Amino acid sequence: MARILVLVRHGQSEWNLKNLFTGWRDPGLSKQGHEEAIAAGKKLRAAGLKFDIAFTSALQRAQATCSHILHEMGQDRLETVKNQALNERDYGDLSGLNKDDARKKWGEEQVHIWRRSYDVPPPGGESLRDTGARVWPYYIHEILPHVLREETVLVAAHGNSLRALIMALEGLSGEEIVKRELETGVPMIYELKADSTIAKKAIL
Protein backbone atom coordinates (compact mmCIF):
# COMPACT_ATOMS: atom_id res chain seq x y z
CA MET A 1 0.00 0.00 0.00
CA ALA A 2 1.16 3.52 -0.76
CA ARG A 3 1.52 6.33 1.76
CA ILE A 4 -0.28 9.17 -0.04
CA LEU A 5 -0.59 12.79 1.10
CA VAL A 6 -2.62 15.12 -1.12
CA LEU A 7 -2.37 18.88 -0.57
CA VAL A 8 -4.85 21.32 -2.14
CA ARG A 9 -4.94 25.09 -1.74
CA HIS A 10 -8.56 26.25 -1.50
CA GLY A 11 -10.27 27.52 -4.63
CA GLN A 12 -10.32 31.25 -5.35
CA SER A 13 -12.06 33.14 -2.54
CA GLU A 14 -14.24 36.24 -2.86
CA TRP A 15 -11.38 38.26 -1.36
CA ASN A 16 -8.75 36.76 -3.71
CA LEU A 17 -10.98 38.08 -6.48
CA LYS A 18 -11.06 41.56 -4.88
CA ASN A 19 -7.26 41.60 -4.27
CA LEU A 20 -7.68 41.85 -0.49
CA PHE A 21 -5.39 40.51 2.25
CA THR A 22 -7.42 37.72 3.84
CA GLY A 23 -5.47 35.83 6.51
CA TRP A 24 -7.80 34.66 9.30
CA ARG A 25 -10.81 36.57 7.92
CA ASP A 26 -13.45 34.18 6.62
CA PRO A 27 -14.86 34.99 3.16
CA GLY A 28 -16.39 32.21 1.07
CA LEU A 29 -15.34 30.88 -2.30
CA SER A 30 -16.02 32.84 -5.47
CA LYS A 31 -17.92 31.21 -8.34
CA GLN A 32 -14.56 30.37 -9.90
CA GLY A 33 -13.37 28.99 -6.55
CA HIS A 34 -16.29 26.55 -6.33
CA GLU A 35 -15.54 25.44 -9.91
CA GLU A 36 -11.83 24.96 -9.12
CA ALA A 37 -12.62 22.81 -6.08
CA ILE A 38 -15.10 20.66 -8.04
CA ALA A 39 -12.52 20.23 -10.82
CA ALA A 40 -9.91 19.16 -8.23
CA GLY A 41 -12.26 16.45 -6.97
CA LYS A 42 -12.86 15.19 -10.49
CA LYS A 43 -9.11 15.02 -11.18
CA LEU A 44 -8.46 13.10 -7.97
CA ARG A 45 -11.29 10.66 -8.73
CA ALA A 46 -9.91 10.17 -12.26
CA ALA A 47 -6.49 9.46 -10.72
CA GLY A 48 -8.08 6.54 -8.86
CA LEU A 49 -7.57 7.91 -5.36
CA LYS A 50 -9.79 7.18 -2.37
CA PHE A 51 -9.20 9.00 0.92
CA ASP A 52 -9.12 7.51 4.41
CA ILE A 53 -9.30 10.85 6.26
CA ALA A 54 -9.31 14.57 5.44
CA PHE A 55 -7.90 17.58 7.28
CA THR A 56 -8.82 21.21 6.75
CA SER A 57 -8.60 24.57 8.51
CA ALA A 58 -11.14 26.43 10.66
CA LEU A 59 -11.95 28.74 7.70
CA GLN A 60 -14.88 28.20 5.35
CA ARG A 61 -13.01 28.62 2.05
CA ALA A 62 -10.81 25.61 2.84
CA GLN A 63 -13.72 23.63 4.31
CA ALA A 64 -15.88 24.24 1.21
CA THR A 65 -12.99 23.17 -1.03
CA CYS A 66 -12.60 19.98 1.00
CA SER A 67 -16.36 19.30 0.80
CA HIS A 68 -16.48 19.79 -2.98
CA ILE A 69 -13.54 17.43 -3.47
CA LEU A 70 -15.03 14.70 -1.28
CA HIS A 71 -18.46 15.08 -2.92
CA GLU A 72 -16.96 14.62 -6.39
CA MET A 73 -15.19 11.50 -5.14
CA GLY A 74 -18.37 10.05 -3.61
CA GLN A 75 -16.91 10.40 -0.10
CA ASP A 76 -19.26 12.96 1.49
CA ARG A 77 -19.26 11.11 4.81
CA LEU A 78 -15.50 10.82 5.17
CA GLU A 79 -14.08 11.79 8.58
CA THR A 80 -12.90 15.39 8.22
CA VAL A 81 -10.82 17.05 10.95
CA LYS A 82 -10.97 20.87 11.16
CA ASN A 83 -8.25 22.72 13.06
CA GLN A 84 -7.01 26.32 13.10
CA ALA A 85 -3.42 25.02 13.07
CA LEU A 86 -3.98 24.77 9.29
CA ASN A 87 -5.38 28.31 8.98
CA GLU A 88 -3.86 30.80 6.57
CA ARG A 89 -1.08 33.03 7.84
CA ASP A 90 -2.54 35.86 9.97
CA TYR A 91 -1.94 39.12 8.10
CA GLY A 92 -2.71 41.22 11.18
CA ASP A 93 -3.31 44.90 10.38
CA LEU A 94 -3.25 44.16 6.64
CA SER A 95 -6.30 41.85 6.86
CA GLY A 96 -9.19 43.18 4.81
CA LEU A 97 -7.08 45.81 3.04
CA ASN A 98 -6.74 46.05 -0.72
CA LYS A 99 -3.15 45.15 -1.64
CA ASP A 100 -2.77 48.29 -3.76
CA ASP A 101 -4.05 50.49 -0.90
CA ALA A 102 -1.57 48.83 1.46
CA ARG A 103 1.26 49.68 -0.94
CA LYS A 104 0.15 53.32 -0.98
CA LYS A 105 0.06 53.42 2.83
CA TRP A 106 3.31 51.60 3.68
CA GLY A 107 5.21 51.65 0.38
CA GLU A 108 5.74 48.95 -2.23
CA GLU A 109 9.02 47.71 -0.74
CA GLN A 110 7.69 47.32 2.81
CA VAL A 111 4.55 45.45 1.67
CA HIS A 112 6.70 43.19 -0.51
CA ILE A 113 8.88 42.37 2.53
CA TRP A 114 5.81 41.49 4.60
CA ARG A 115 4.38 39.32 1.82
CA ARG A 116 7.54 37.60 0.64
CA SER A 117 10.02 37.43 3.49
CA TYR A 118 10.23 34.28 5.58
CA ASP A 119 10.54 35.77 9.05
CA VAL A 120 9.26 39.40 8.96
CA PRO A 121 5.60 39.58 10.12
CA PRO A 122 3.21 42.38 9.13
CA PRO A 123 2.04 44.55 12.07
CA GLY A 124 -0.03 42.42 14.43
CA GLY A 125 0.32 39.34 12.23
CA GLU A 126 2.41 36.25 11.52
CA SER A 127 5.47 35.61 9.37
CA LEU A 128 5.70 32.40 7.37
CA ARG A 129 8.04 31.10 10.07
CA ASP A 130 5.35 31.84 12.70
CA THR A 131 2.80 29.99 10.56
CA GLY A 132 5.16 27.03 10.35
CA ALA A 133 5.51 26.99 14.14
CA ARG A 134 1.85 25.91 14.39
CA VAL A 135 1.63 23.87 11.16
CA TRP A 136 4.69 21.65 11.70
CA PRO A 137 3.76 20.15 15.10
CA TYR A 138 0.20 19.56 13.90
CA TYR A 139 1.48 17.79 10.80
CA ILE A 140 3.92 15.63 12.74
CA HIS A 141 1.49 14.62 15.51
CA GLU A 142 -1.90 14.53 13.75
CA ILE A 143 -1.48 14.11 9.97
CA LEU A 144 1.76 12.22 9.34
CA PRO A 145 0.84 9.18 11.52
CA HIS A 146 -2.11 8.46 9.21
CA VAL A 147 0.12 8.63 6.13
CA LEU A 148 2.72 6.35 7.72
CA ARG A 149 -0.06 3.84 8.46
CA GLU A 150 -0.39 3.62 4.67
CA GLU A 151 -3.55 5.70 4.56
CA THR A 152 -4.42 8.20 1.81
CA VAL A 153 -4.81 11.64 3.37
CA LEU A 154 -6.30 14.88 2.01
CA VAL A 155 -5.25 18.29 3.36
CA ALA A 156 -7.29 21.23 2.03
CA ALA A 157 -5.79 24.42 3.38
CA HIS A 158 -4.22 27.75 2.39
CA GLY A 159 -1.29 29.16 0.43
CA ASN A 160 0.94 29.85 3.42
CA SER A 161 -0.06 26.97 5.72
CA LEU A 162 0.67 24.66 2.77
CA ARG A 163 3.94 26.47 2.03
CA ALA A 164 5.04 25.75 5.59
CA LEU A 165 4.08 22.10 5.16
CA ILE A 166 5.84 21.82 1.78
CA MET A 167 8.94 23.45 3.27
CA ALA A 168 9.17 20.62 5.80
CA LEU A 169 8.25 17.89 3.30
CA GLU A 170 10.72 18.97 0.63
CA GLY A 171 13.48 20.24 2.94
CA LEU A 172 13.42 23.77 1.50
CA SER A 173 15.05 26.87 2.97
CA GLY A 174 13.10 29.99 3.94
CA GLU A 175 14.38 31.74 0.80
CA GLU A 176 13.29 28.84 -1.41
CA ILE A 177 9.79 28.43 0.01
CA VAL A 178 8.75 32.08 -0.26
CA LYS A 179 9.32 31.85 -4.03
CA ARG A 180 7.03 28.81 -4.37
CA GLU A 181 3.72 29.73 -5.99
CA LEU A 182 0.71 27.53 -5.22
CA GLU A 183 -2.22 27.74 -7.59
CA THR A 184 -5.76 27.62 -6.18
CA GLY A 185 -7.55 24.30 -6.49
CA VAL A 186 -4.59 22.33 -7.88
CA PRO A 187 -3.93 18.97 -6.14
CA MET A 188 -0.33 18.07 -5.24
CA ILE A 189 0.17 14.36 -4.61
CA TYR A 190 3.06 13.16 -2.45
CA GLU A 191 3.93 9.50 -2.00
CA LEU A 192 6.05 9.09 1.13
CA LYS A 193 8.59 6.45 2.10
CA ALA A 194 8.43 4.70 5.46
CA ASP A 195 10.89 7.27 6.88
CA SER A 196 8.46 10.10 5.86
CA THR A 197 10.68 11.41 3.05
CA ILE A 198 9.28 11.82 -0.47
CA ALA A 199 9.26 8.87 -2.87
CA LYS A 200 7.29 10.64 -5.63
CA LYS A 201 5.50 13.91 -6.25
CA ALA A 202 2.90 14.77 -8.89
CA ILE A 203 0.81 17.86 -9.63
CA LEU A 204 -2.58 17.24 -11.25
pLDDT band at 89, cuts 50/70/90?
very high
Distance CA 102, CA 154 (A): 34
pLDDT of residue 130: 98
| Contact predicate 60/36, CB 8 Å | no
Render the chain in DSSP notation, one character per residue: --EEEEEEEPPPBHHHHTTB--TT----B-HHHHHHHHHHHHHHHHTT---SEEEE-SSHHHHHHHHHHHHHTT-TTS-EEE-GGGSPPP-GGGTT-BHHHHHHHH-HHHHHHHHH-SS-PPTTS--HHHHHHHHHHHIIIIIHHHHHTT-EEEEEE-HHHHHHHHHHHHT--HHHHTT----TT--EEEEE-TTSSEEEEEE-
User: Domain holding 50: CATH number?
Assistant: 3.40.50.1240
Distance CA 182, CA 179 (A): 10
Pick the catalytic residue: 36, 72, 88, 126? 88
Total of domains in the chain = 1
How remote is the C-alpha of 136 from its chain's centroid?
13
| Contact predicate 177/167, CB 8 Å | yes
CA torsion, points 64, 81, 50, 7, in degrees to nearest 10? 70
Would residue 10 show up in a list of annotated catalytic residues for this protein? yes
Residue 83 clears pLDDT 80, i.e. is over it: yes
Pick the catalytic residue: 10, 36, 72, 158? 10
What's the pTM value of the predicted model, to 2 decimals?
A: 0.96
- Note down the domain range covering 54: 3-203
pLDDT of residue 58: 98
- Give the mean model confidence (pLDDT) for residues 58-72: 98
Residue 1 clears pLDDT 90, i.e. is over it: no
pLDDT of residue 71: 98
Of residues 91, 124, 98, the one with CA closest to residue 24: 91
Would residue 108 show up in a list of annotated catalytic residues for this protein? no
pLDDT of residue 147: 98
| Contact predicate 153/56, CB 8 Å | no
15-41, pLDDT tens digit by residue? Answer: 999 999 999 999 999 999 999 999 999
